[in-house]
Structures are given as C-alpha cells and as structure tokens.
Chains A and B, each alone.
Chain A
Amino acid sequence: MPLGRVADVPDPDVLIRAKGLTKRFGDFTAVSGIEFKLRRGEAFGFLGPNGAGKSSTMRMIACVSPPSGGELTIFGLDPVADGAAIRSRLGVVPQEDTLDVELTVRENLLVYGRYFGLRRPVIAERTTRLLDFVQLTERADDQVEPLSGGMKRRLTIARSLINEPQILLLDEPTTGLDPQARHVVWDRLFRLKQQGVTLILTTHYMDEAEQLCDRLVVMDGGKIAAEGSPRELIEAYSTREVLELRFAVAEHDQAAQKLAHAPADRMEVLADRILLYVPDGDAALDAVRGLGLEPLTSLVRRSTLEDVFLRLTGRRLEDG
C-alpha cells in the first residue's frame, strides 16, 4: 500500500483546489459555485459580510460539511473519503469558542492533542512552547471559564497548533474582541505567517484582511465577486484616494445632487456621508468648494478594501 495517493494536482504547492464548489441547505444556496486555489505559505482570505458563505466554505475545507456540488481537494485528497487524514494536518480556529471551560488551559491542550493521537510528552513539550507563544504561560493551570475573550481566543489558536498543522483555518478570528485584544491576536497571527504557516481566514473586517492577507477573494451572496492581493483589488476597483464629506442633515440630499457634477470617478451616497472617489482628494475638496458647497467635515484618505466591497456590491461590509 502506498502511503498516500498520487495527487491530481500537477503543482505540489497548491494545497487546496476548489472548482464549482457549492453548498446548499435545503432550498438555500450558501456557496454557489466558487473557484479558488490555496498555495503553500500564503495567507489567503475570504472577505465578505455575514451570510456571504465564508463560514460554509471554511466548514467544507475543514471536512465537517460535505460539499453539495463541485470539486474540492485538500492536499490532493477528497474531504469526504479522506476527512480524517486531511483533518489530522489542519488546524482549526472556529468562529465560536469551543473550549472546555471547566478544564484548565493545559488540560484543554492535553485533550485536544490526544484527539490527534499525540503522546503525552510530545503534548507537554508543545504546550509549553505554544502557551509561551500565545502569552498564556502564567495561566497554564487556571480554569478556562474566567479567562477574558482575548485570552480564550489565543488559547484556541494555541490549541489549533498542537498538531503542527500545514494549514491553519481561522473563521472570523477577532470577531467579538475589543480593539486591544484584537491587535494582540493579529500580532500572533502575523508571526505565524512570518514562520511560513499557510493561513486561510474569513473576516468581515477590511483592516484585518489588509493586514493579514497576501491574497483574498471578496465574497457576496455565496459567490466570489473579485480576487487578488489587497493592493491589486484596490487598484482595480477603487481610486487612489477617497474624499469623505459630511453635510448638515438638511443639506445632505441637496449636496449629493450638486456633487454629481463634481470631477470624481465615482460617488457613493451613504446615509451619513458622501464619498468621492478621486485621484487627488485635496484637489477634489477645492473643486467641491468651487461648487459653492461647504461640508461640516471633510476627510481625505486612501482607498481601502471597504471601498472595493462597496464598489462590488453596493453595500458596506458591516451591513451584512
């Protein structure tokens, strides 16, 4: 018996390959025929609002959700037939904490390591190293229950690394954390990325996607709307700068009408602000004043993935 099977992928650096991948729940199509590849060593993101199909995609990759259609191979293996073999090489950080809160930090890693069939001395050695990495060494023998949200998240990350996975899956890794805890998690994930760990993450935070992802797909309504590096996406779908204008409530609509004549590539009228997509924000602001408009506040900023998303879908990320 050979140890594995001949991969159907000619490129050995392609770890995940999806084509026409679909997931249906009854009449509802959560993921509708998406295609992507994940290469070894990259940090790949699914960016989209809640309900875009990101988590469903992640669950299919994690081999806990059989695809309804299309092709999916992970390490060249079939997630349905070879689920256990694939999962033994994955690390999973789920959206919702699934720690055993009645056990200690160390016991959580022990139980999880045993699931992978690791021996106790191996688990003990890795536990020491991983708790140091996620800065939880001092809490090793404390119960999990009273830990803060950020600490629990970091413990979940440590737990996902106990089997030294070849791909780490992170589903909304910082959702629900306060800004400070979020930055600590980002810092740890960035270090993993630097160590060459292959990451896949889903997020509805554009700053998270920009900081962590080498390459990402924008998902909306179960489909992939665009793919590229954050920089490529911004270049392709937005302008260099954005001028954000805020007017008095009574003048908002009128200003929007007048601004239709302003020299801008594109204009987005949001409930509280008007965005002008322009190559030069300061010049655009002068032009706006030239139209006889005086905004209450104005802000010139660089384009972000949020603008890409707005352009692609007509909605903001947090609107869902």
Chain B
Amino acid sequence: MTTPAQAAPPGQLVPAGPRPADGMGMAIRAFLFWLVNYRRTWRGTIYSSVLGPVLYLGAMGVGLGSLVDSHGTASLGGVSYLSFLAPGLMAANGMQTAMDESLYPVFAAVKWQKTYQAAASTPLRPGDLFRGHILFTTMRLVMNVVIFLIVMVAFGAARSAWVLAAVPVAVLTGLAFAAPLDAFAVTQEKNDQAFNMIFRFGLIPLFLFSGTFFPVTQLPAWIRPLAYVTPLWHGVALCRSLSLGTADWLGALGHVGYLAAIALIGLAAGQRTYRRRLYV
C-alpha cells in the first residue's frame, strides 16, 4: 500500500491527497450509485411508465371523455375532455414519479440498507448524496414525462407544439415534490409510517383536486385557495395552457417561479437534513 504521503519528507507538508472534486462532480459520483441500481430494474419501470398513461388516457380521457364531451365542454374551455385531461395528467405524472423515487428509496438507503452511511465514509458529503439522488430523480422524471408525452401525442391529445415546453414544466413540478420529500424522508428514524400518510392524505387528494380531472373553478369557493397553493395545481395549469396553446408569458412565469421556489426551498432543506442525519 504505497501512497504519496508515505514518501513525504519528515516534518514537512502533509499532502492533502487527491483534491476533492467540486460539488457537482461529487454529486455525480453519488448519482452513479442510483444508476448502477437502476440497471437491474429499468425494464420493469419502462413497462409501467408506458402502461400507466395508456390506461389513464384510454379509460378517463377517451372513455369518460366521450360522456363529458356529449354534454358540452364550455367549462373546459371548449376543448375535448381528452385534450383537457392529458396535460394535467402529465404534471401529475411528475408528482407521482417524485413520490415513488423520493420516499422509500431514500428511507431504504438511510435505514434499511445503510448505503448512505457507507457512502458518508468516503469523500462524499451528505449534500453530495442528496444532490446525487436529486439528479437521479430528475433523470427518472425526464424519462417518465417524455414517455407520457409520446403516449399523449399518440392519443391525439396535444393541440399545440408548445406541448414540448410542458415537458420541463412537468419535470419541475416533480422536483418541487422530490426535493422537499427527499429532505423529509431522510429524517425518518424508526419506520415508514409517515409515507403512507403522505400517499393517503397528500398524493391522492392532490391528484384528485388540483385541477387534473376537472377545473378548480368547480370546487367550492372557500377551498379553491388551498388548491392554488399546491405545487401540483401550478404544474397542471401551466402544462395545460401550453398543450392547448393558450399560455401567456406572465402566467407561465408565475407558475414556473412558484414551482422553482418550492424546489429551491426543498434543496436548501435537504442540505441540512441529510447533514443532520448522517453526521451524528
């Protein structure tokens, strides 16, 4: 085991060893861990990434949509239910992907398998592990949202070429969930009970009432503000206006700004929570 330091002249300099890479370089090393793991399971995830959108757009968009359309679609802005629903589902797909990637995988890494603790013994710092996982989640978001877009176009559910711009918006929507959820999942010490609560009282109500399936204006007036503060509503609204070709710059900027702010708060929180959990 020869190393440069062992040849160092006595009493002189203690070499600092290989210079640690910059923050992003270190995060990419952590990202590779998730990638090597993903190599074993990617096929299965592709099937479900395709099947999910096909089932939803088929059953809800085409099936239920034919009923909705036959009663007039003025409240949907005069477009078919399929065209109304698809971009909303695209944003919701971002949220769903974020939930799947952020809660259990992070908890497994810190509690069940302790792969985070193993990585913390290397030059990687807790923040690198956090950003590495966010990078991987971003990759998964891009994959799922692009697959969704392809299915959506195949169903003829996109009405404007601006729908391409909905892809990064749906990814950002996902990140607005992934960053805070990552930051939260790593703090869980005992068990995964909190995650069931998040799925039951977070994901499902958001999915149903954030304007994905019907306009938020159909909700009672007193509850609407609640929908407006949820990140999903902003993602749904912007994806929809892009896909329908009705987006305006100011509104788009507002939605993107809100989603980015939530994601940045999550990133700052995760930097802290990862550190507190791994450096005890």
Contact = CB atoms under 8 A, between A and B. Distances in A.
A39 B12 CA distance: 16
A220 B209 CA distance: 59
Given A77-B14, A77-B16, A98 B278 contact: no
A84 B125 contact: yes
B43 interface: no
B114 A98 contact: yes
Interface in B1-51: 1, 3, 5-6, 8, 10-21, 25-26, 29-30, 32-33, 36-37, 40
A164 B32 CA distance: 21
Interface stretch (A62-70, A223-231, A297-305): A62-70
A11 B11 CA distance: 6
Contacts of B217: none
Contacts of B10: 12
A89 B14 contact: no
Given A82-B16, A85-B16, A89-B5, A65 B280 contact: yes
Interface in A60-111: 62, 64-66, 75-77, 82-85, 87-90, 92, 94, 96-103, 107, 110-111
Given A89-B3, A96-B114, A101-B113, A117 B30 contact: no
A292 interface: no
A1 B15 CA distance: 12
Contacts of A110: 36
A261 interface: no
A197 B1 contact: yes
B14 A7 contact: yes
B26 to A, nearest CB: 8
A11 B12 CA distance: 10
B119 interface: yes
Contact of A5 (B1, B14, B29, B33): B14
B115 interface: yes
B21 to A, nearest CB: 6
A257 interface: no
B125 A166 contact: no
B279 A115 contact: no
A92 B121 contact: yes
A195 interface: yes
A107 B125 contact: no
B123 interface: yes
Contacts of A77: 14, 16
Nearest to B3: A166
A108 to B, nearest CB: 9
A296 interface: no
Contacts of B118: 94, 98-100, 112, 159
A6 interface: yes
Instruction: Pick the most buried of B3, B30, B120: most chain A CB atoms within 10 A of its CB.
Output: B120
B122 A115 contact: yes
21 contacts: A2-B13, A5-B13, A5-B14, A6-B13, A7-B13, A12-B8, A12-B14, A59-B280, A65-B280, A66-B279, A88-B122, A92-B121, A94-B118, A100-B37, A103-B40, A107-B36, A115-B33, A115-B119, A115-B124, A116-B122, A117-B21
Interface of A: 2-7, 10-12, 25, 40, 59, 62, 64-66, 75-77, 82-85, 87-90, 92, 94, 96-103, 107, 110-112, 114-117, 159, 163-166, 195-197
